[in-house]
Amino acid sequence: MALILENVGKTFENTGQATLKNINLEIQPGEFLCVVGKSGCGKSTLLNLIAGLEAPTEGRILLNGKEVKGPSSERTVMFQEHALFPWLNVIQNIKFGMKINGVPKEEQEIRAEKYLKMMQLEQYKDYAIHQLSGGMRQRVALARAFTMDSDILLMDEPFSALDKQTSNHLRKELQDIWMQTHKTIFFITHSVEEAVYLGDKVVVMSGENGGIRNIVPINLERPRHVYDEEFIAYRHKILEEIQGGDY
Ligand SMILES: Nc1ncnc2c1ncn2[C@@H]1O[C@H](COP(=O)(O)OP(=O)(O)OP(=O)(O)O)[C@@H](O)[C@H]1O
C-alpha cells in the first residue's frame, strides 16, 4: 500500500505563516521519489511531517491506510549528518536500530551482513567511526537505514555534505542497493542532477505558495548517464520549473 498525503498543510505557530499548503501526493510501494525546490520552500518540513516528527496543521498523512501520528519504525529517517554513535564500531552502529526495535539476534546478524556486503563495508566492520572517511560514514548510515526494513526510507540531503566525487559514488551505490531491494524512498536533494539520476518521479516544490509546482516522471532506463541527451533535457526542464531560483 501507498503513502498518501491529503491536502496537507503546515503553519508554525511562532511565524503564523503557512510553510506548506495543499500538498497532495501519493508514493507507491517501491517508488523512488525525489523532492527539489528552492532553499526554504519546505522540503525538510514535509519530510518531518511524513516522519511524524511534526504534526500537520491541515490534512492528513496515511501510510498503508493508517494515519501517521508520530515517529515509527515503519519510517526510517536518514539525515545529512550521519548521526552514528562514536562509541560503537561499524557493525554495532549498523545493528543499533534493529536492536532497539527488538529484531531477534540471528536476524540482526543476517541483515547486517547483507548490507555490509552491499555497501562494501565488510572489511571495516570492526572499525571505530573516527577511523572512517565522511563517505564511508554515510555508507554505514545507509546500511543502518536499510537494515531497518521499514516501509519507507526518508532521506534529507544525505550526500550534500560530501565532496562531489564521493557523493556521485554514493548515489550510484544507493541506486544499486535500491534496484536490489526496491524499498520506497522519499529523497530530498538540492541537486537536480541527483534527482534526475535517482528518481522515478521528481516533485518540484513551489518557492512561493507552499505547494507542489509539478511532479515530473523520469522515463529513463537505469542505470542513467548524466551526459545523455534525454538526461540533460530532464535537468533543464526541472531547472526551468524551479526558475528564478538560486540553483
Ligand atoms: N520549527 C520551526 N518553526 C518555525 N519555522 C520553521 C520551523 N521549521 C522550519 N520553519 C520554517 O519553514 C520554512 C521551510 O523550512 P524547511 O527547512 O522545511 O525548508 P527547506 O526547503 O528544507 O530548506 P533548505 O533547502 O534550505 O534545507 C522556513 O522558512 C523555515 O524557517
Q: What is the ipTM of this complex?
A: 0.97
Same domain as 117, residue 99: yes
In this structure, the residue with its CA closest to atom 25 of ligand 1 is 39
* Atom from ligand 1 closest to the CA of residue 41: 21
Contact criterion met (CB below 8 Å) for 78 and 155: yes
Residue 88 is assigned to a structural domain of this protein: yes
Same domain, 59 and 29: yes
Its domain, for residue 239, covers: 1-74+160-169+183-247
In this structure, are 82 and 143 located in the same domain? yes
Q: Residue 15 contacts by C-beta under 8 Å, 6 or more apart in sequence?
A: none
How many structural domains compose the chain?
2
Mean pLDDT, the chain, integer: 93
- Do 236 and 165 reside in the same domain of the chain? yes
Length, in residues, of the chain: 247
Region 16-30: mean pLDDT is: 94
What digits encode the pLDDT tens for the residues 204-229? 999 788 899 999 999 999 999 999 99
User: Is 187 inside a domain boundary?
Assistant: yes
* Pair (69, 92) in one structural domain: no
Mean pLDDT of 70-80: 90
Residues framing ligand 1 (Cβ under 6 A): 12, 14-15, 19, 37, 39-45
Q: Are 177 and 219 in contact (CB under 8 A)?
A: no
Are 145 and 164 members of one domain?
no
> Are 59 and 165 members of one domain?
yes
